[in-house]
Amino acid sequence: MEEKNKKIVGIVVVSHSNKLAEEIINFVKIFKQTDFPLENGGNANREVYGTNIENVKNAIIRADNGAGVLVFVDMGSSVFNAVKAIKELDGEVEAKIADAPLVEGIISAVAANFDGIDLDELKIIAEDSKKFTKLKKKI
């Protein structure tokens, strides 16, 4: 990765479904303004649903290039395991979890992620996606 030396926030997707995480990553690549690490922190075994701390921690380490890592989670144990992984890293990597809808949040973050955006700013952008409405009036 040529731009790995640039300090651009890395992004990790943690989902109970490895296939879902892979497809989200493939989908959001079209929104990238620049090259940065975008990693799957889910279970590498496609036949098993779930997450684990070690996979999340390893994905965070792979995604870090010095600007920190923003982690997106789907639900339940993915949140728990992401929190535990970050704690186990004990400051080795600055990583934060985006409290955002998985799809809308990661699209916003990927589109906004470029040299000059820091981890906290990117987290705010991702979390602002909670305000998106799909319908203007009730149906």
Summarised one tens digit per residue, pLDDT across range 38-67 is 999 987 666 678 889 999 999 999 999 999
pTM attached to this predicted model: 0.91
Could you tell me if residue 2 is inside a domain? Answer: no
Could you tell me if residue 58 is inside a domain? Answer: yes
pLDDT at position 112 over 70: yes
Could you tell me if residue 74 is inside a domain? Answer: yes
Is 70 within 8 Å of 119 (Cβ atoms)? yes
Q: Number of structural domains, the chain?
A: 1
Lowest mean pLDDT among 3-17, 70-84, 125-139: 3-17
Is 64 within 8 Å of 37 (Cβ atoms)? yes
- What residue numbers bound the domain in which 60 lies? 10-131
